[in-house]
Amino acid sequence: MDSVQRNVLVYDTEETLIQTVAARLLLRISDLLTAQERVDVALTGGTDGIAVLAAAAQSPLCAAVDFSRVHFWWGDERFVPADHADRNALQAREAWLDALVASGELPEENIHEMPAETRTAEAAASASDAENDAVLLAAAREYQAELERELGPEGTLDIALFGVGPDGHFASLFPGHDEVLSSDPAVKSLGVAHSPKMPPLRVTLTVPFIQSTDFVWVFASGERKSDAVGRALYEADHANVPSSYARGKEESLWMIDRAAAANLA
């Protein structure tokens, strides 16, 4: 085992896992708001990530949170048009955030989406690699500028949630891809041009910026993720298992169901 302190909580079922992550998120936000003016949270997409948001939407613990002082960001985004069904932010809005805005609890300006694809479908489909790289670089820089405007140049997130893919990816940091190894702390957000998981164009937070977050929580369910979970927790900082880099300054917590824990000792 490695020397990085990562705590692991295993729940009997996927349902218990999802409900527990949602409750923990709401309680942690509520606790932090007693000591600081605002709380900045990075959300994740994916099956588990959206299920957590849907569970949060139904939780009575929402009553303990002053959402006017909560800001939502994303750990990664699929670079598709803003109204595309694949978009992590659209799914999060449908699962939870739209209802918070509609009820007047959450100001729309507290939702910080990563930039979306604005080219026509034809222009995007015929774009060269160089054109895509330029568009993604601009999107990543725009998101970094928004982070720095909101949080300050050295500012960090309070909480970041991450799902894990069966290949071990987290955010849009994929096994063997250069973005995983980006180590410049001045670079907080990057474009990803050839994601092995569709869609191929993405924007992601970087490892250094993720690791500057106080609370980094990773969650995964199901047997299909057990190999990735086992490898990520066996040893930290493995480029072939990007989620092995997931850790926070104050807490690095993995929450998994029993099926996803199958490969843990």
Query: Which of 88, 110, 156, 213 is close enough to bind ligand LXAUTJHC by CB under 6 A?
Result: 88
Measured in whole angstroms, the distance separating CA 169 from the mean position of its chain's CA atoms is 11
Q: Can you say whether residue 176 is alpha, beta or left, with left for phi > 0 and alpha for psi between -120 and 50 degrees?
A: left
Query: Which of 69, 197, 238, 258 is close enough to bind ligand LXAUTJHC by CB under 6 A?
Result: 197
Residue 76 is a binding residue for ligand LXAUTJHC (CB under 6 A):
yes
Q: How far is the CB of 206 from ligand LXAUTJHC (least distance, A)?
A: 15
Nearest-CA neighbor of 115 among 136, 85, 132, 94? 136
Residue 175 is a binding residue for ligand LXAUTJHC (CB under 6 A):
no
Residues 6+ apart with CB under 8 A from 82: 89, 90, 113, 116
Q: How far is the CB of 219 from ligand LXAUTJHC (least distance, A)?
A: 9
Site string for ligand LXAUTJHC, 32-71 (x = CB under 6 A): ------------xxxxxx----------------------
Instruction: Output 185 or 200, the one with its CB closest to ligand LXAUTJHC.
Output: 200
User: Could you check whether the bond before residue 166 is cis, i.e. omega within 30 degrees of 0?
Assistant: no
Whole-angstrom distance, CA of residue 174 vs CA of residue 180? 7
Is 241:232 a contact under the CB 8 Å cutoff? Answer: yes
Among 12-20, 31-39, 159-167, 257-265, the segment contacting ligand LXAUTJHC (CB under 6 A): 159-167
Applying CB under 6 A, the site for ligand LXAUTJHC has a residue count of 14
Q: In the range 206-265, which residues lie near ligand LXAUTJHC by CB under 6 A?
A: none
Whole-angstrom distance, CA of residue 66 vs CA of residue 226? 36
Residue 37 is encoded by which pair of tokens? 């003016």
Instruction: Output 53 or 151, the one with its CB closest to ligand LXAUTJHC.
Output: 53
Q: How far is the CB of 47 from ligand LXAUTJHC (least distance, A)?
A: 4
Q: How far is the CB of 190 from ligand LXAUTJHC (least distance, A)?
A: 14
Residue 14 is a binding residue for ligand LXAUTJHC (CB under 6 A):
no
Residues 150-189 as b/e (b if ≥16 CB within 10 A, e otherwise) read ebeeeebbbbbbbbbbebbbbbbbbbebebbebeeeebbb
Question: What's at 190, amino acid-wise?
Answer: L
> By three-state DSSP, how is residue 220 classified?
strand
> Residues in the site for ligand LXAUTJHC, rule: CB under 6 A?
44-49, 76, 78, 88, 162-163, 165, 172, 197
